Amino acid sequence: MTRVRTGLSNITANIGFNNYTAPQGYKVGKVYAVILDEQSVPQQVWINNGGWAGIGTILYAEYREDTELPLEALNDQQLIDLPTALPLYPNQKYFPLPGEIVILMDLPSAPSPITNKTEESYYVSVINAWNSPQFNGLFLNEDKEALYNSFNQNSDFRGLQTFEGDYLLEGRFGNSIRFGSTNRTGNQDLSPWSTNPNELENNPITLLTNQHNFKLPGSDLYVEDINKDGASVYLTSNQSIPLDTGNIVLSNITNPTNVKDFTNPQVIINADRTIISSKSDEVLIFGKTGVEAYSQGPIYLQSNKVGITLQDNQVFLGPYNNDFITPQPLILGCSLNVWLSNLILSLSDFTANIANTISQPEGTPLMTINDASITLQDKLEILNQTLLKEDLLSKTTNTI
């Protein structure tokens, strides 16, 4: 349900003809348009405000309930006649939506080549009329629909639950950054990163999340869920994070700590898909005790140029320390090829030597066969020594 009121008396009781007076040097204005591109405002407004140099400029009217512009009848000329204000901060772009209320002040500016003004109005912040990071406009629902091209209120939207000492940055669309900490006292049910009983209170944690899952049951406020949010980056201190890794069994070679049980500082990235890409140089991954890759599907490695190199004293292919099958070293292909070639050549020479042997007279020793068999025996002994020395077996790579 869209969060818009038909009666604004509770919010506007001190504004306009209700004896509201802006602090000296400040004004309160209602936004009617924001310059975002050439199509967002009439062409004359775009030109007068310097084109692309005017991005973020708002068109506003000083806010009084008794002088509201009729939004449904708002035309280009009315927009052209409205005063403008620039964002106060040059390095922060948080622009209001039409219909929201802003605080304004008149301050010096660079001389305008178009208007020759040396003073300009600047807006500081959106007034938190509805106490919502999503939307704080003051008008009826039908007026809101007339003002927006793409923005739609999410009726399921919930702002973040704040724990003591938190600093939150919240977007309008279910994205946020939380600079928080461990808050175990009374918050374990709400704060899933505060369940480690051995962790100190106030250990810092930073959560960057995108696409909050507002469909999850809960209170009127939202708490991040690394398993249900669209994408998350967690920077922890000593918190244990309940990341669901499925039915993957961790390696018994390095015996890493289970993800949910690890309580040292770590970075966790979780999403439907995670991509690490390097545009012009290597991707380097270092692990003090190990580097491990797990998948519930295949693991595929590809190199388009020089091939794939695995370097260590031992490389195992297949289950390590299999209870039923002892890992065996791989055969060196080129060496085996030479060995088999020599065997074939030796046997070929032997058959050639005895092919035309004739015994005359009967009982005369066949010297050619004798000589050939001795030669073959010597060569076979050399080949056998190669086998005994295991020269054909890999010293590093084993499989089952």
How would you write the chain as a 3-class SS string?
A: CCCCCCCCCCCCCCCCCCCCCCCCCEEEEEEEEECCCCCCCCHHHHHHCCHHHHCCCEEEEECCHHHCCCHHHCCHHHHHHCCEEEECCCCCCCCCCCCEEEEEEEEECCCCCCCCCCEEEEEEEECCCCCCCCCCECCCHHHHHHHCCCCCCCCCCCCECCCCCCEEEECCCCEEEEEEECCCCCCCCCCCCCCCCCCCCCCEEEEEEECCCCCCCCCCCECCCCCCCCEEEEECCCCCCCCCCCCCCCCCCCCCCCHHHCCCCCEEEEECCCCCCCCCCCCCCCCCCCCCCCCCCCCCCCCCCCCCCCCCCCEEECCCCCCCCCCEEEECHHHHHHHHHHHHHHHHHHHHHHCCCCCCCCCCCCHHHHHHHHHHHHHHHHHHHHHHCCCCEEEEEEEC
Digit-coded pLDDT (tens) for 19-46: 445 456 788 999 999 999 999 899 999 9
pLDDT in tens, 272-315: 999 999 999 999 999 888 888 888 888 888 888 777 888 888 77
pLDDT category of residue 15 using cuts at 50, 70 and 90? very low
What is the residue type of 350? F
Rounded mean pLDDT, 340-362: 72
216-253 tens-digit pLDDT: 777 788 889 999 999 999 999 988 899 998 888 887 77
The answer, yes or no, to whether residue 14 has pLDDT greater than 60, is: no
Strand partners, 100: 137
Percentage of the chain exceeding pLDDT 90: 28
Q: What is the mean pLDDT of the chain?
A: 80
Sheet (strand 267-271) strand order: 167-170, 175-181, 204-210, 231-235, 267-271
Determine if the peptide bond prior to 111 is cis (ω within 30°): no
Sequence letter at residue 291? V
Give me the percent of the chain exceeding a pLDDT of 70: 80
Q: In angstroms, how far is CA 361 from the centroid of its own chain? A: 91
